[in-house]
Amino acid sequence: MEVTRSKIVALLIAVAYMACIVTAGGDDQIEVVLKGGFALAFILALIWFPEEIGSIKGYVGRGGYINRETPGCMVSAMGWLLLVGLPLGMWFFGG
pLDDT digit string, tens, across residues 11-52: 999 999 999 888 886 777 888 889 989 999 999 999 999 999
CA angle in degrees (0–180, nearest 5) for 28-17-56: 100
Domain residue ranges of the chain, discontinuous segments joined by + = 5-93
Give the distance, in angstroms, between the CA of residue 12 and the centroid of all CA atoms in the same chain: 13
Percentage of the chain modeled with pLDDT above 70: 98
For every residue of 5-49, DSSP letters joined together read HHHHHHHHHHHHHHHHHHHH--TTHHHHHHHHHHHHHHHHHHHH-
Residue-level pLDDT at 83: 94
Give the predicted TM-score (pTM) of the model.
0.84
